[in-house]
Amino acid sequence: MAIPSFVDEVTLHVYGGHGGNGCASIHREKFKPLGGPDGGNGGDGGSVILRVDHGLTTLVGYHRQAHWRATSGQQGRGDHQNGARGEDVIMSVPNGTVVIDAANGEQIADLTGEGADIVVAQGGRGGLGNAALASPARKAPGFALLGEEGESRMITLELKVVADVGLVGFPSAGKSSLVAAISRARPKIADYPFTTLIPHLGVVAEDDGRTLAVADIPGLIEGAHRGAGLGIRFLKHVERCRLLCHIVDASGEGEAEEDVAVIEGELAQFSPEVAARPRVLVASKVDAVSDRERLESIRRAAEARGLPFFEVSAVTRKGLDRLVHYFFEAVPPAETARAAS
């Protein structure tokens, strides 16, 4: 069976290494038959750590391997030799990975930003050797402590694309063509529903050096919040977008009000917070308009909602510069947004 190119949710079992046992040893040498306790401590077990790597865009690396285990600490030895610590397991994950405790559904962490990390399975502590257990009351203990077991748990990793602008709309509305036209992203483009089966992320650059990430979210249909079509699996990828760009195909026929309302309804059913995000309405494929009333109905829908409206064509590039300029005006730099929140 072929490995999928994009995986945005996996469930894993993670195990911290066990701590090594302490050593019970008595130092002996010529003329010093009872030289005192010299048993070393056991080494701590290694931990399992998740760490963000901006070079990754999918969880596909964990599709076939569900169990991840750090190594255990080594046992202490005589002559005050402590056992070596177990090695950590560093698991690289994409930016925007949410970590959930699979046992109770509680969120453990939301990993965003290069290098962000979290320990998901702590290694056990090494046991003390009898040299560390010696005291005035017990100068030569004949025992040592066992190492602790490492933490084990089942976690779910859920990837939510980190983007400034999310392109939403019906299948074949022109989202993939738009993101390809304004960035270097090269999503698959064809004239049939659900061409886009995975979210695509494109980086758009302004002349002053600023950049924005624009996400092409797979096409939504009525009932998507209940799992229809590509369903809720991809609706979650709009949760981090600061601006929603609603794309409506102007090359079709008929009134656009219902088309606009359906997508609005799906966003609201999925998350009222997402539905309340700033939004812009864009009429796409204006180079292929055969019914002018269709285009005007999209404009009326924008006016009725008080939304900014743009007419664009990915083929002729009409309106693209104005739209991109609006993106940069409407979405402040990430640093400014964080300071205001």
Q: What is the mean pLDDT of residues 34-42?
A: 88
pLDDT number for residue 158: 87
- pLDDT tops 50 at residue 195: no
pLDDT number for residue 293: 93
pLDDT number for residue 199: 63
Dihedral angle sign, alpha carbons of residues 31, 34, 36, 37 = positive
pLDDT number for residue 243: 93
Q: Same domain, yes or no, for 6 and 102?
A: yes
Q: Same domain, yes or no, for 196 and 322?
A: yes
Q: Same domain, yes or no, for 17 and 139?
A: yes
Q: Same domain, yes or no, for 190 and 330?
A: yes
> Considering the entire predicted model, what is its pTM?
0.71
Q: What is the mean pLDDT of residues 326-332?
A: 90
Phi, psi dihedral angles at 188 (to 5 degrees): -70, 135
CB-based contacts of 239, cutoff 8 Å, min separation 6: 160, 271, 274
Q: Same domain, yes or no, for 98 and 129?
A: yes
Q: Same domain, yes or no, for 212 and 82?
A: no
User: How far apart, in whole angstroms, are the C-alpha atoms of residue 281 and residue 299?
Assistant: 8
User: How far apart, in whole angstroms, are the C-alpha atoms of residue 28 and residue 133?
Assistant: 18
Q: Give me the helix-helix angle, 292-305 and 257-270, nearest 10°.
A: 40
Q: Please say which residue of 96, 131, 159 terminates a domain.
A: 159
Range of the domain at 285: 165-340
Q: What is the mean pLDDT of residues 174-184?
A: 82
Q: Please say which residue of 93, 128, 159 terminates a domain.
A: 159
Domains contained in the chain, number:
2
Q: Same domain, yes or no, for 177 and 109?
A: no
Q: What proportion of the chain, given as a percentage, has pLDDT over 70?
A: 84
* 6 or 98, higher pLDDT: 98
Q: What are the beta bridge partners of residue 92?
A: 51
Query: Among the listed ranges 147-151, 163-167, 243-247, which one has the minimum average pLDDT value?
Result: 163-167
Q: Same domain, yes or no, for 73 and 44?
A: yes
Q: Same domain, yes or no, for 151 and 205?
A: no
Q: Please say which residue of 159, 174, 206 terminates a domain.
A: 159
Q: Same domain, yes or no, for 85 and 101?
A: yes
Q: Same domain, yes or no, for 132 and 171?
A: no
pLDDT number for residue 184: 66
* CATH code of the domain in which 233 resides: 3.40.50.300
Q: What is the mean pLDDT of residues 141-162?
A: 92
- pLDDT tops 50 at residue 4: no
- pLDDT tops 60 at residue 187: no
Q: Same domain, yes or no, for 34 and 109?
A: yes
Per the document, the length of the chain is: 341
CA distances from 9 to 63, 97, 114, 336 (A): 9, 9, 20, 31
* CATH code of the domain in which 46 resides: 2.70.210.12
Question: Side chain identity at 63, as an amino acid letter?
Answer: H
Query: Among the listed ranges 76-80, 119-123, 196-200, which one has the minimum average pLDDT value?
Result: 196-200
Q: In what order do the strands lie in the sheet with 67-69?
A: 67-69, 9-15, 152-159, 97-101, 107-111
Phi, psi dihedral angles at 18 (to 5 degrees): -75, 150
* Model confidence band, residue 34 (pLDDT cutoffs 50, 70, 90): low
Q: What are the beta bridge partners of residue 338?
A: none
